[in-house]
Every structure is written in C-alpha cells, then in structure tokens.
Amino acid sequence: MNQPKAHMSFTKQAAYEELRYRIITQQLAPGELLKDKDLMERYGIGRTPLREVFLELQNEGLIKRVPRAGTWVAPMDFHFLKQVTEIRIGLEGIAGELAAERISEQQLAELDSILETVKAHEADPKTNFEELLKYESAFHNVIYASTGNPQLEKLLRNYQSVGARFWHSLVFSREQMAEQFRSHRLMLAALKKRDKKTCKEITEEHIRNYAGMINDRIGPES
C-alpha cells in the first residue's frame, strides 16, 4: 500500500471518514494489507486512535483483523451482502416511519443543507461524483439519528457502510448517483410533511431496487 506522508494531522473522526471512503471506493482493494505505521504516518494520529478507527471499520464489516497477524480490507462477499440487504429492507422502512414522526427541525435543516451542497456539485462539470458518496452517506446518517433509536441507528449505519461499498462496485455512475439524490429529495419532502407512509415506501423501495441488482449479480436462488 503506497502511503504518502501526512501534511497535516487528522482528527480521529476525519481519519475514520477518509479511510472508510477509500475502502468504499476501492482505492484500497479487497484483501489489501493495512499497515499501522503507514496509516499513523498518513493521518498523523497515534496507535490508540488508529485502533479505535479500526474497531469502527471492523464493526461495519469493512476490514478484517487477525490478532498478531494484521489488518486487511474485507473481501467482497456478495452472498453476505444479499443477506444484509434482505434484513435492511424492513429496518429501513421502520427508520423511515420513525424519522417522519421524530425528526427535528434542526435535522431537517441538515438534510436541506446536504442536498443544497449536492445540487451545487451536480451543476459543476468538474465534480468528481465519487465525492458525492460522502453526502449520500451523510443524508442516511441524519435520518438514522432522527429515529431516536440508537440500536436501530447503529445497525443501519453498519449495513449502509457495507451496502455503499458493494453499490460502488456494482452500479456506480453519474446517472445512478443522480437518481439516488432524486429519491432523497422526495424523502425530504415527505419528512417535512410528516408523511410516515410515504417515507416508509421510499426507504423500502430504495433498498428493494438495490436487492434486485444483487440478485442480478449472483442469482436469486444463490
């Protein structure tokens, strides 16, 4: 793994987000060895915060750690992804309903801000659309937090991380990304109306479409 020296110190959260992004977009390939020394140098962080970053990524299924052996980017297992996605359909529907009921005005403003930022990027022909993955994840995370259910939020954040990585591998394109944000704009409109039924339908359909893509890849009977 070619790791340039860090020109600045990252916070632990910033290091986590950047490393997560590099795994999801496969800048770090499945099975690639993650060397503690190189990452500590790259991000300007110590061994303890790096271990905490690794724990978060391991909980999300993005890395594999073997005591006294090393840490690797997790392999791409589409059968595991299919299982996770089947579970996620129902959980996303619950999250949509709870979000419509419990989301705060501040959280609605956060979603507005995310989509306004995305709109500006979409209008810029120089935009690297891989960068928009960060805003896609941020949108989901605000909704998960708005459910007011920390256990549900934790599950969905982990599943969303796994899903984002495989989605990038399967179908990533400018058109697909634009479609994701069209769906998010419909979701925000439904949230503002406190329309639980529509929020549930949008979130479930979003994951069902993804499940269909997985089945096309490995077959529905696999």
Q: What's residue 219's pLDDT?
A: 66
Q: Is the pLDDT of residue 184 over 50?
A: yes
Beta partners for residue 63, in sequence order: 73
Q: What's residue 6's pLDDT?
A: 47
Q: What's residue 37's pLDDT?
A: 94
Mapped onto helix, strand or coil, the DSSP state of residue 70 is strand
pLDDT in tens, 46-68: 999 999 999 999 988 899 998 88
pLDDT in tens, 67-92: 888 999 999 888 888 899 999 999 99
Distances (CA, A) of 53 to 34, 49, 114, 117, 150: 12, 6, 25, 27, 20
Label residue 1 by pLDDT band (50, 70, 90): very low
**Are 161 and 62 in contact, with CB atoms under 8 Å apart?**
yes
